[in-house]
Chains A and B, each alone.
Chain A
């Protein structure tokens, strides 16, 4: 164990998943027969500190179930999740709670993920409140500093979340996720619902935060168009399994697996259409 932790390869790995499985049992209506649905079927993954892994797959491929297993919103059926040298599935509640602060999830739809009645500041400091950190004043100061870091003006602190635009709400969601000083951010389609100009702003913010805070990202998406900008490594998931993984530029340039090739080909491109291929 000690030897494993000192080896340079393991020391640089923040998260390692081994043979992770999540099966759901289903029963047809009025039938006693049970069906096992393998949502995640033996996944191995590793993410190095300070890097981004893009996990790409279509709906139903199991990528979101995997994310939910990582933050223990779902109980995996089998497998190991090693975070910073500790197996998350074997920890006590208290130990797990401390580590869960390090792993934060950001969802696709910021409008649905934030309580619209809370003010911006209340949303940002809520995790601190839940974890019982700091005094009221300290929390307020920390919240304002976080808002500033993600490009939100401090004079907006008392505005209810419902009054913010989509991009501003996603900034709020990021500020909240940063409140507990996480090391790993799981971005579950966090950019898919955003307008193009907002998407570019949020991508840039995420890249800046990665450099300034040494953050590690797991970027989960079905849309390959942004993968090149954000990711170092890329893994493609299909029917609960990883079918291909490599460095992101390599995979985007030379996809090997048929499913990866289909995904790469499906990205709507501008130049393919403006080169005059439309019939006369």
Chain B
């Protein structure tokens, strides 16, 4: 198979300092985000249907404990392993307390006080983040891996113009003069707003709507051209129609910029439009992983099945089928300080076996590209 040329292009537009260009057979050029090349030393190209040869992010056996006031260490993330390829969108689906946000924060080494990575490795573009020093991490955070926060009302400084707040990020990482940073900020804002960039740049957060503030946060996250963007419930505090707009924007940016995404949500419908592959988490563990479409169409783990079944009809098939109950998973997730000895889902599981109470299930690969942790499939 012929290798398509990959070379550096230093031409404008100005937001791109050094961009990779992938020339297609049709003669068209496609601009790719930095990080794409590091991840694909062999020049393999997702757009040409060849799988990437190395992951952009490689997480292995990640285990996080949280110290409580009494000094006890509670396991909140247990032996989580996954890869994200350059340009790939991976979703983490799980309910509150399942460890999805802690996993994301651990990737950036931004765990809350008391949180500690006790085991495992996080390899990002060939660098080990678990043992990296704070200065190294500061260069990565916001520039190579950035985070879109949940609450746009809180994440922005209330007394600074939003254009300045985007420019600040560029200034901190690139060290350019302020005028150039503001220009770059305007370019970043232009990616998420369709017009009125100068008016929005000059606005203070309170002068913008919730959806506009969320767009500013997205511009801020993209300002330094990261290779990976983590979005933790990016639409949680927004109205329904605004939520739909922001989801469409993220989807558009993913296709346009080729940036890798880690999307975190409790709602399967929100991930549906965005993620290529999903990890389902329960009680700090990954219980199922696979291509989103296949997991949604034919879930394997009893928890995934229960979760998808309990989705309101309005979000799945006919919204107008009339009043009626939802198939609900009984019980509630176990207290992380008092986990059952076997599989953590066993007390609520409709398919439990005798072995489930004795030990946790091991990884099973029932079909290509899918993993499940359940004794039903061997374990």
Contact = CB atoms under 8 A, between A and B. Distances in A.
Contact of B314 (A166, A250, A267): A267
B325 A207 contact: yes
Contacts of A250: 320
Contacts of B272: 268-270, 272-274
Given A167-B332, A265-B244, A268-B244, A228 B95 contact: no
A151 to B, nearest CB: 9
A113 interface: no
B310 A197 contact: yes
A229 B313 contact: yes
A249 B320 CA distance: 4
B141 to A, nearest CB: 29
A199 interface: yes
B296 A270 contact: yes
A263 B333 CA distance: 32
B270 to A, nearest CB: 5
Interface stretch (A5-13, A72-80, A219-227): A219-227
Given A262-B241, A270-B296, A226 B312 contact: yes
A2 interface: no
Contact of B328 (A200, A249, A264): A200
Given A59-B239, A165-B332, A203-B325, 11 more contacts: A58-B242, A167-B332, A197-B310, A199-B326, A201-B328, A227-B319, A228-B322, A248-B323, A253-B320, A268-B247, A274-B292
Given A228-B314, A271-B317, A274-B293, A197 B328 contact: yes
6 contacts: A165-B97, A196-B310, A197-B306, A222-B240, A227-B319, A268-B273
B332 A168 contact: yes
Contact of A230 (B269, B323, B329): B323
Contact of A204 (B242, B247, B316, B326): B326
A264 B316 CA distance: 13
Q: Which 7 pairs, one residue from A and one from B, show the smallest C-beta to C-beta distance?
A: A200-B328, A225-B314, A200-B310, A195-B95, A268-B269, A200-B326, A273-B272
B268 interface: yes
B96 interface: yes
A279 interface: yes
Contacts of B255: 279
A121 interface: no
A225 B320 CA distance: 10
A190 to B, nearest CB: 14
Nearest to B326: A200
Nearest to A274: B293
A267 B319 contact: yes
A278 B315 CA distance: 18
A109 B269 CA distance: 22
A266 B319 contact: no
A198 B332 contact: yes
Contacts, number: 144
Contacts of A266: 240-241, 243-244
A249 B321 contact: yes
B316 A271 contact: yes
B315 A225 contact: yes
B262 interface: no
Contacts of A270: 268-269, 272, 296, 311, 315-316
B133 interface: no
A232 interface: yes
A263 B310 contact: no
A196 B316 contact: no
Contacts of A179: none
B73 to A, nearest CB: 19
Nearest to A59: B239
Contacts of A262: 241
A264 B240 CA distance: 9
Contact of A197 (B247, B293, B307): B307
A199 B315 CA distance: 13
Contacts of B293: 274
A114 interface: no
Given A197-B307, A249-B322, A225 B312 contact: yes
A59 B237 CA distance: 10
Contacts of A252: 314, 319-320
B357 interface: no
B5 interface: no
A229 B324 contact: yes
B266 interface: yes
B240 A273 contact: no
Contacts of A225: 269, 312, 314-315, 319
Contacts of A166: 96
Contacts of B322: 228, 249
Nearest to B324: A229
A262 to B, nearest CB: 5
B105 to A, nearest CB: 19
A186 interface: no
Contacts of B326: 199-200, 203-204, 229
A222 B292 CA distance: 27
A267 B315 contact: yes
Contact of B241 (A263, A269, A272, A273): A263
A184 interface: no
B321 A268 contact: no
B320 to A, nearest CB: 4
A195 B96 contact: yes
Contacts of A272: 272-273
Given A229-B313, A268-B315, A196 B240 contact: no
